[in-house]
Amino acid sequence: MRESLEVYIRVGDRDIIGRSFSELTDALIFAGRFREAIEVARRGLTYLEGDVSVSRVRLLDGKSQALASAEGYEPAHLKQAEIRRFHAMMLIDRAAPGDRERAQILPSEALETYKRIGTPGT
The domain spans of the chain are: 2-116
Residue pair 61/80 in contact by the 8 Å Cβ criterion: no
Categorize the per-residue pLDDT at 4 as very low, low, confident or very high, splitting at 50, 70 and 90: confident
**Distance separating alpha carbons of residues 103 and 112, to the nearest angstrom:** 15
pLDDT in tens, 89-108: 888 888 889 888 888 888 88
**Distance separating alpha carbons of residues 25 and 99, to the nearest angstrom:** 27
- CA 98 to chain CA centroid, Å, is 23
What does each C-alpha distance from 82 to 9, 12, 59, 63, 121 come to in angstroms? 26, 27, 11, 11, 16
Q: Is the pLDDT of residue 15 over 60?
A: yes
